[in-house]
Amino acid sequence: MSDTMKTAKKTSSASKAASKTVAAKSAKSAKKKTNPAKPVRKRTKADAPAPPPEITEEEIATCAYLIYVSEGCPAGRDQEHWLAAEARLKNR
């Protein structure tokens, strides 16, 4: 076999391998992009997380009273109990 034929065969097989690789990559990317079994679902407002429920003053007062009683009814700490109740209800 002549040197030119060997070179031609090497070049030919290298081109085929390169074209197979390119074809395989494009086939994989095409598969990833579209999947007819799974319909594309657009995001709506219903998908967004719901805002936390508002805390009423009545709930805070009740919680503050329970903190007050659980601490043995100390005098002069009403604001501290109120703030503790707000924090507790926000973190629930």
Global confidence as pTM: 0.47
Position 56 scores a pLDDT of: 96
Task: Provide φ and ψ at 54, rounded to 5°.
Answer: -70, 140
Q: Answer for the pair 85, 63: CB distance below 8 angstroms, yes or no.
A: yes
The string of pLDDT tens digits covering residues 7-20 is 555 555 555 555 56
Residue 82 has pLDDT above 80, yes or no: yes
From the CB of residue 86, how many other CB atoms can be counted at a distance below 10 Å?
A: 16
**Structure confidence by residue, pLDDT tens digits, 46-72:** 777 777 789 999 999 999 999 999 999
The helix (H) or strand (E) run that includes residue 20 is: helix 3-33
What percent of the chain shows pLDDT beyond 70? 59
As a whole number of angstroms, the distance between CA 51 and CA 32 comes to 35
